[in-house]
């Protein structure tokens, strides 16, 4: 971000919560959402699909993880608690102000999502010729 603001780099991907104050101040210009849907905090900013890159999805996501071997009932209890919290209007309002879209779900849903992200970004790294 420092290099972008100083003009040493011309573009970056970032969580909207990090760049939003600079966009609102006019020191940065949002070019596109790197996610499938437009964000509520900057609804006039198009998605990358709308500007011609429909295959690009570089959504920033967060999730809770636990050590391998965590009992299933413990995982489910944490997921139920988190899902209940994500239904709170207060929390949803705070997340919305920062440009985040809470999803929730089961531990299995999250495992499938993480697996799909690993496959997608492994393929991207390989296509770019990145070596291990």
What's the domain range around 88? 72-127
Say yes or no: 54 and 21 in one domain: yes
Sequence-distant (≥ 6) Cβ neighbours of residue 59 within 8 angstroms: 34, 35, 36
Query: How confident is the model over 1-30, as pLDDT tens digits?
Result: 899 999 999 999 998 889 999 999 999 999
Which whole number is the average pLDDT over 68-82? 96
What's the confidence (pLDDT) of residue 100?
A: 87
Say if CB 17 and CB 99 are below 8 A apart: yes
pTM over 0.85: no
Say yes or no: 77 and 123 in one domain: yes
Say yes or no: 38 and 85 in one domain: no
**132 pLDDT higher than 80:** no
Say if CB 44 and CB 20 are below 8 A apart: no
Say yes or no: 76 and 54 in one domain: no
Report yes or no on 112 lying in a domain: yes
Q: Please report which confidence band the pLDDT of residue 49 belongs to, taking 50, 70 and 90 as the band edges.
A: very high
Which whole number is the average pLDDT over 44-48? 95
Say yes or no: 107 and 55 in one domain: no
What's the confidence (pLDDT) of residue 66?
A: 94
**Average per-residue pLDDT in the chain?**
92
Say yes or no: 48 and 77 in one domain: no
Say yes or no: 35 and 87 in one domain: no
Q: Hey, how many other C-beta atoms are within 10 angstroms of the C-beta on 35?
A: 19
What's the confidence (pLDDT) of residue 97?
A: 86
Say yes or no: 38 and 86 in one domain: no
Longest dimension (CA), the chain: 51
* Domain tally, the chain: 2
């Amino acid at each position: 971000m420092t290099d972008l603001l100083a003009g040493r780099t011309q573009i970056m991907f970032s969580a909207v919560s990090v760049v939003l104050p600079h966009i609102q101040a006019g020191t940065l210009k949002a070019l596109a959402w790197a996610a499938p849907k437009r964000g509520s905090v900057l609804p006039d900013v198009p998605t990358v699909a709308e500007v011609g890159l429909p295959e690009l999805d570089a959504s920033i996501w967060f999730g809770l993880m636990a050590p391998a071997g965590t009992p299933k009932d413990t995982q489910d209890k944490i997921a139920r608690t988190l899902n209940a919290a994500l239904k709170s209007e207060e929390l949803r309002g705070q997340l919305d102000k920062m440009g985040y879209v809470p999803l929730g779900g089961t531990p299995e849903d999250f495992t499938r999502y993480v697996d799909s992200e690993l496959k997608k970004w492994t393929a991207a790294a390989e296509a770019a010729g990145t070596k291990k």
